[in-house]
């Protein structure tokens, strides 16, 4: 099968796809754009390679959500942030984190489906509850970590890890999982 045949087949599968994969890929793109734009408009000097590499990785994330491109995208954005950003937690940190969370959750959802899958709204609703809980708990954990950090309380790392574990458990159980699975 030639490259042109593969591309033609892939485009036909996308045209035949249902609403679920298209919504998931749109959310991947939205989360990635948020994660690239918010750090890019900050006052601190971001490395020039991050938006270029991130843009290319984002295209791959949308086209192939079941590949490792989303993980590499997350690592690239986080590396750019850790290397040049200030240490304080502000609104830009939370918004970038939410963009990365959206990209991660949408990639995980889209990776389960072939691009031509017909998915009902029920499947999207089942994914929406855990995603909403994770999106709400992310900023709460960040705010809690900032408060504990500024209070200089001994054991603040334990409190932060416990809050993240509780958030993970809430998302796990909201997704309909059980301990016995």
How many residues would you count in the chain?
181
Q: Distance between CA atoms of 31 and 100, rounded to whole angstroms? A: 6
- How does pLDDT run along the chain (181 residues), one tens digit per residue? 788 888 888 778 777 777 777 888 889 999 999 999 988 888 776 777 888 999 999 999 998 888 899 999 999 988 888 887 777 667 787 788 888 888 888 888 888 877 677 777 777 777 777 777 777 777 777 777 667 666 666 666 676 677 777 777 777 777 666 656 5
pLDDT value of position 56: 93
Other CB atoms closer than 10 Å to residue 96's CB: what's the count?
Answer: 22
Torsion of CA 140, 130, 13, 11, to 10 degrees: 0
With 0.75 as the threshold, say if the pTM is over it: no
- Residues 28, 60: contact at Cβ < 8 Å? no
């Amino acid at each position: 099968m030639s490259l042109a045949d593969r591309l033609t087949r892939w485009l036909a599968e996308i045209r035949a796809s249902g609403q679920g994969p298209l919504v998931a890929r749109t959310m991947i793109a939205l989360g990635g754009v948020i994660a690239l734009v918010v750090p890019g408009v900050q006052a601190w000097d971001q490395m020039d390679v991050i938006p270029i590499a991130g843009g290319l990785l984002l295209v791959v994330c949308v086209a192939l959500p079941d590949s490792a491109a989303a993980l590499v995208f997350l690592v690239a954005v986080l590396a750019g942030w850790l290397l040049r950003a200030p240490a304080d937690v502000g609104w830009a940190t939370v918004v970038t984190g939410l963009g990365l969370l959206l990209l991660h959750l949408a990639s995980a959802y889209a990776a389960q489906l072939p691009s031509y899958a017909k998915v009902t709204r029920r499947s999207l609703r089942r994914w929406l509850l855990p995603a909403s809980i994770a999106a709400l708990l992310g900023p709460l954990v960040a705010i809690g970590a900032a408060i504990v950090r500024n209070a200089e309380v001994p054991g603040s790392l334990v409190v932060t890890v416990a809050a993240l574990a509780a958030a993970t458990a809430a998302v796990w159980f909201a997704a309909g999982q059980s301990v016995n699975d």
